[in-house]
Amino acid sequence: MRPDNLFPLFADVTTLNGVGSRVKDALSRAMGTRIKDLVFTPPNNVIDRTHTPDIATAKTGEICTFHITVGRHSPPSSRTRPYRIKVYDETGEMTLIFFHARADYLKRQLPEGAQRLISGKTEVYNALLQMTHPDYILAPDGKDTIPPYETHYPLTAGLSQKVARKAVMQAVQRIPKFDEWLDPALVKQQEWLSFHEVLTRLHQPEHPLDATDGSKLRQRLAYDELLAKQLATALVRASNRRQKGHAFQAPGSYIQDVLSGAPFEPTGAQSRAFEEILHDLKAPYRMARLLQGDVGAGKTFVAALAAAYVVECGFQIALMAPTEILARQHAHSLAKTLEPAGLTVQAFTGSDKGKARDAIMTGLAEGYIDVIIGTHALFQEKVEFNKLGLVIIDEQHRFGVNDRLRLTQKGHRPDLLVMTATPIPRTLALASYGDLDISKIDEKPAGRRPIDTRILPMAKLDNVIHAIGRSIENGNQIYWVCPLVEDSELIDLSSVDDRHRQLSAIFGQRVGLVHGRLSSQEKNQVTETFKNGGYDILVATTVIEVGIDSPDATVIVIEHAERFGLAQLHQLRGRVGRSDKDSSCLLLYQGPLSANGKARLEIMRESEDGFLISEKDWELRGSGDLLGARQSGLPKFAFADLDKHKSLLETAHQDARLIVEKDPGLQTSRGEALRTLLYLFEQDYGIELMQAG
């Protein structure tokens, strides 16, 4: 149950004066519908109104507050002209400008000869100082009404800054005082104020810098938020370890069968990662582990070894992939890898209908299918397993902590292995995967050759086409990646349709086309044809970024490479270099390149280390772009900015682990305060798991 002292913050905004249903609707689009949403929305600007010059010394473009005397009114000669009012002080005069104003209102507000305080932005027009629509017009004794530092908030249609600010200022008065949940030594070291003081001062700053990301106020709030999320994930991790899993025990003969049937020796990194997974599988608690493998490092083979062991123990495996193409490809490669151990592997996607679907469902429920591979369809209500022991999720960054919790509720407390071929910077790993143990595969299989990466201007397109023609004559296949699906008048980028037409005119029918707008069946058909050698060139969008695997493809051309992030370029480049043949990656750019764009492409030319590239990508682009705005694995933050608060995240991570170790039930006085923190930042699923034992 949420503590009583939090109720004021979770109250509806309509409990504020002046907020009816219409204003609530506008606030919901800009900030939210609860008091908490308003106070958890940092100001997006702070207006400094402390500048009070004389009219003679004021400069154009400044926010100024003047003490003036009202002079002559000049109503407009037509509707299109402004209403002008002369005002003056001892040093000079200026003009107030009003468009579409009512004369009677202005005469009441600014009667000739009256003293007034006005505040707004000055400008010079025809060598005369003027102010258009002052923000404040007050009697001289109303000085306290003008905030020295005025906070501004996000707006939407139907919401003015005045209404938004009035609602937030009322909401600030409802912020309760809480017991301190932070370590007193840390508070002292950082010279932080209490949560109540900090949140209040964020909205009523004593200096314009108070509301910036680097201020002590924002740092304290960012740390509170990061600690809440890290503590919740630490509690999930502890819950996983408390929950009795299957202590899988088997001689390991299926593993030996798979190893004997493999046409290669596992790398040292693959062996280390599998040993860590095997240790978790044998332990009495449930495994929750992330397997990070660089492009082409062989994480699927490690997953296959884990699957072989779990099946030998009498259990089933479910592998979930983000796309149908990848699901079917995994099914094909795993069936081959697991064949020496005699395992039954089956793909299961949304396109399986009727009797075929029924047969798969029966096979799962009765235990005939050992390994099932599919998309989200695997975890629909009707899908029943006979004895599910291990859930493997591929391309994990599309799923958040709560998704992981839901997925593992299927079956008999299955172990969880999540995989990604996107090397993740440590800071992002802590933010997104704090509930998981992490294994890394950072070695390429023996015999893989370096990929020759070259950077070329789009002006050399004809040369590139001639070069790939020669490569095709030598028996090689080509990926050709474009950023758009169809021609756009807004952005001058090549489209896959346009490039497909051009290359087909040169190379004939041996040019395939695949993009996101094709049906799953069409995509599967094209990619299978390419893989089987039916096409020499596959023109594609980034739909090929993950999963399409054709060992004879030795060249990838990426148009407008300056438009892609480093991590994505690295993923795309990983489609080639998957055999012992020499491979090339041609990055075509449209000049002029920005300094940032040039730096990105240079890194690609210099390195094939996905972990190094991901760190550089973080430095150049920031966390928001790194995983992609629409991918749900990265948590959303109100106060924290992972690019600016990296060191705070490290501290919060260590603090959370220590708290759970020393006070697993959050029973101490600090533990009680930390429960409030979890509820406050809506991370209370951690408390539910803790109470569930």
pLDDT in tens, 392-436: 988 754 566 666 666 666 556 789 898 987 777 777 777 777 778
Does a structural domain hold residue 217? Answer: no
Phi, psi of 189 (to 5 degrees): -60, -40
Q: Are residues 126 and 170 in the same domain?
A: no
Does a structural domain hold residue 399? Answer: yes
Q: Are residues 174 and 265 in the same domain?
A: no
Q: Are residues 31 and 69 in the same domain?
A: no
CATH code at position 541 = 3.40.50.300
Q: CA 392 from chain center: how many Å?
A: 22
Q: Are residues 392 and 325 in the same domain?
A: yes
Angle between helices 324-338 and 520-531 (to 10 degrees): 50
Terminus-to-terminus CA distance in the chain, angstroms? Answer: 17
Angle between helices 610-621 and 566-573 (to 10 degrees): 150
Q: Are residues 304 and 415 in the same domain?
A: yes
Could you tell me what percentage of the chain is helix, strand and coil, using 3-state DSSP and rounding each to the nearest 5? 45, 20, 35
Structure tokens at 393: 């999720």
Q: Given 591, 607, 623, which residue is the final one in a domain?
A: 607
Q: Are residues 477 and 554 in the same domain?
A: yes
Q: 174: Cβ–Cβ under 8 A, 6 or more apart, which residues?
A: 8, 9, 11, 35, 39
Q: 226: Cβ–Cβ under 8 A, 6 or more apart, which residues?
A: 431, 637, 640, 645, 648, 649, 652
The pLDDT, as a whole number, for residue 494 is 63
The pLDDT, as a whole number, for residue 635 is 67
Note whether 433 and 290 are within 8 A (CB).
yes
Task: Quick: pLDDT tens for 467-502.
Answer: 999 999 999 999 999 886 555 554 555 688 889 999
The DSSP symbol for 447 reads T
Structure tokens at 538: 């596959």
Q: Are residues 30 and 171 in the same domain?
A: yes
Does a structural domain hold residue 96? Answer: yes
Q: Are residues 400 and 284 in the same domain?
A: yes
CA distances from 362 to 92, 170, 310, 335, 649 (A): 90, 60, 21, 20, 47
Transcribe 571-598 into DSSP letters: HHHTTS--SSS-EEEEEEE-SSPPHHHH
Does a structural domain hold residue 225? Answer: no
Write down how long the chain is: 693
The pLDDT, as a whole number, for residue 629 is 35
Q: Are residues 286 and 186 in the same domain?
A: no
What domain count does the chain have?
4
Q: Given 574, 607, 640, which residue is the final one in a domain?
A: 607
Q: Are residues 266 and 382 in the same domain?
A: yes
Does a structural domain hold residue 557? Answer: yes
Q: Are residues 192 and 312 in the same domain?
A: no
Does a structural domain hold residue 675? Answer: no
Does a structural domain hold residue 333? Answer: yes
Q: CA 482 from chain center: how many Å?
A: 24
CATH code at position 91 = 2.40.50.140
- How far apart, in whole angstroms, are the C-alpha atoms of residue 459 and residue 457? 5
Note whether 355 and 327 are within 8 A (CB).
no
The pLDDT, as a whole number, for residue 544 is 67
Instruction: Identify residue 216 by its one-letter amino acid code.
Output: K
Does a structural domain hold residue 617? Answer: no
Q: Please say whether the dihedral angle defined by the alpha carbons of residues 85, 89, 90 and 92, taken in this order, is positive or negative.
A: negative
At residue 440, the 3 state secondary structure works out as: strand
The pLDDT, as a whole number, for residue 693 is 44
Note whether 391 and 410 are within 8 A (CB).
yes
Transcribe 392-410 into DSSP letters: EEESGGGS-HHHHHHHTTS
pLDDT below 50 — which residues of the chain?
A: 397, 490, 625-633, 693
The pLDDT, as a whole number, for residue 548 is 66
Q: Are residues 309 and 434 in the same domain?
A: yes
**Domain range enclosing 89:** 50-146
Q: Given 392, 409, 441, which residue is the final one in a domain?
A: 441
